[in-house]
Copies of this chain bind each other. A is one copy, B any other.
Amino acid sequence: MIKANFLSGTEVHRSRTALWGTGTALFPYPVQKLAKGRFKMAKIAVILEDMFEDSEYTEPVKAFREAGHETVNVGLEEAKEVKGKKEGTPATIDRALGQVNSGDYDALLIPGGYSPDKLRAHESPIEFVKGFMDEGKPVFSICHGAQLLISADALKGKKATGWKSIKQDIKNAGAEYLDREVVEDGNLVSSRQPQDLPAFIKASLSKL
């Protein structure tokens, strides 16, 4: 067993990486206490609407929080309860998109399902996502998440992946589509589907 009080900041990071490498969704320690004062906590926006892919919201958010980061659900309407596509997981929108901008956050998570399609029928989510990409802040996109990046015209020249149904859209947007569990290109981390979550979460945490 690793003893918390023997760890330097670097070692904390390495141990987290090693633990994630096993594909487990839980850390053995409350890392936010373990690492207090040793790494910067990030404020992560999670952009959501109805019919998000349940696990692509719940698992990364759980992992980010367990690692000591803060997550804030942003969406079209403040206080609205949106629901997951398969299991009906409820999620409350903390802040409406009209009231926030990318400058308020350190990173962005875009869960998949049909939430991205619903969001990109409006201008404010597209502008919000574009802000993170323009500023080079970490953006974590899984499954249909890349649809928002396409509408933000933010994939030109990037390596990226996403759910197979949108492969042609990702290519047509000027990206190089790679059929891999996780693709990292600069600030952008992308994955294809729920099965890729362990690799997606590991790569996303490494950007924070």
Q: In the complex this chain forms, how many copies of it are found?
A: 2
Residues of A86-114 contacting chain B, CB below 8 A: 114
A165's partner among B118, B163, B172 (CB-CB below 8 A) is B118
Interface residues of A (CB under 8 A from B): 114, 117-118, 120-121, 144, 147, 150-151, 153, 163-169, 172-174
Q: Specify the main secondary structure of chain A where it touches its partner.
A: helix
User: Is there an interface contact between A121 and B172, defined as CB atoms closer than 8 Å?
Assistant: no
A172's partner among B120, B167, B173 (CB-CB below 8 A) is B173
The answer for the CA separation of A173 and B169 in the assembled complex, in Å, is: 8
The answer for the CA separation of A166 and B116 in the assembled complex, in Å, is: 11
A200 to chain B, nearest CB (A): 19
The 8 A-B residue pairs with the shortest CB-CB distance in the complex, in nearest-first order: A172-B172, A121-B165, A169-B169, A151-B168, A120-B165, A117-B165, A121-B164, A172-B173
The answer for the CA separation of A144 and B151 in the assembled complex, in Å, is: 15
Residues of B within 8 A of A150 (CB): 168-169, 172
Q: A120-B165, A121-B164, A168-B173 are in contact. List 9 more A-B contacts (CB 8 A).
A: A117-B144, A117-B166, A118-B165, A120-B168, A147-B165, A151-B165, A153-B168, A172-B172, A172-B173
The answer for the CA separation of A51 and B118 in the assembled complex, in Å, is: 14
Residues of B within 8 A of A121 (CB): 163-165
The answer for the CA separation of A164 and B119 in the assembled complex, in Å, is: 11
**Residue in chain B with minimal CB distance to A167:** B151
The answer for the CA separation of A165 and B76 in the assembled complex, in Å, is: 15
- Interface-central residue, A114, A121, A168, by most chain B CB under 10 Å: A168
| A-B CB contact pairs (8 Å), 13 listed | A114-B114, A117-B117, A120-B165, A120-B168, A121-B163, A147-B165, A150-B168, A150-B169, A151-B168, A168-B173, A169-B169, A169-B172, A172-B173
Residues of B within 8 A of A169 (CB): 147, 150, 169, 172-173
A188 to chain B, nearest CB (A): 18
Residues of B within 8 A of A117 (CB): 114, 117, 144, 165-166
